[in-house]
Amino acid sequence: MDHAWLHTVRTRGTPLPRLIGVGRLVIVGLLDDGRLEIDNNIAERALRGVAVGRRNWLFAGSKTGGERAAAIYTVIQTCKANGLDPQDYIASLTGKIAAD
């Protein structure tokens, strides 16, 4: 792909020529590889649960309680990321553990 138009942007005399150069690299990467996302909305949505839960983690009661809560939150987020219903998965898992 021809990116000659990117080189027409003048960087001489500006306070941020290096930043503009990095911006050019990002634009070239986005133009060359259609798989790259322009924004990071997917990652921000994935972390939203962490930000919302952060206040609740203050009330875990102890270090052990916090570690257990973190383990459960990890299982729940992994289920969501893989398209599984967390409640069904945990019920199935505890049923298998109880059967052993």
Residue range 42-92, pLDDT digits in tens: 878 877 777 776 666 677 778 888 888 888 888 988 898 899 999 999 999
Q: How far apart are CA 54 and CA 13, in angstroms?
A: 45
Q: Which of 41, 50, 40 minimizes the C-alpha distance to 77?
A: 50
How many other CB atoms sit within 10 Å of the CB of residue 68? 13
What is this structure's pTM?
0.46
Q: Are 20 and 14 in contact (CB under 8 A)?
A: yes
Kindly report each contact of residues 68-77 with a partner whose C-beta sits within 8 Å and lies 24 or more positions away, as own/partner.
73/49, 77/46, 77/49
How many other CB atoms sit within 10 Å of the CB of residue 52? 9
